[in-house]
Amino acid sequence: MSKTIKAIYENGVFKPIPPVDIQEHLWVSLTIEDTKSVALSTSGIIPDRNAQTVDEIAIAPEFMFEET
């Protein structure tokens, strides 16, 4: 079985987000891919720096992030 999950590395431990439902003590292989937050990866693409415009775009349903 292969599954991709998101995790955060804190205090020497990978913590899955959200928690995963797998058997305790199961050996797995991890592939580390450094990903930026949506905010960091999209910073600067909106030329209008008007806070109201940015807020309207941020909550618009057509721009909501979808998990793949």
pLDDT at 57 over 80: no
pLDDT at 27 over 90: yes
Answer yes or no: is 10 within a domain: yes
Helix (H) or strand (E) holding 53: helix 51-59
Total domain count for the chain? 1
Q: What is the pLDDT of residue 12?
A: 93
Q: What is the pLDDT of residue 38?
A: 65
End-to-end CA distance of the chain, in Å?
A: 17
Residue 13 in tokens: 């431990």
Q: pLDDT band for position 39 (50/70/90)? A: low
Segment 23-43 mean pLDDT: 78
Answer yes or no: is 36 within a domain: yes
Query: pTM (2 decimals)?
Result: 0.44
Task: Give residue 26's domain range.
Answer: 6-63
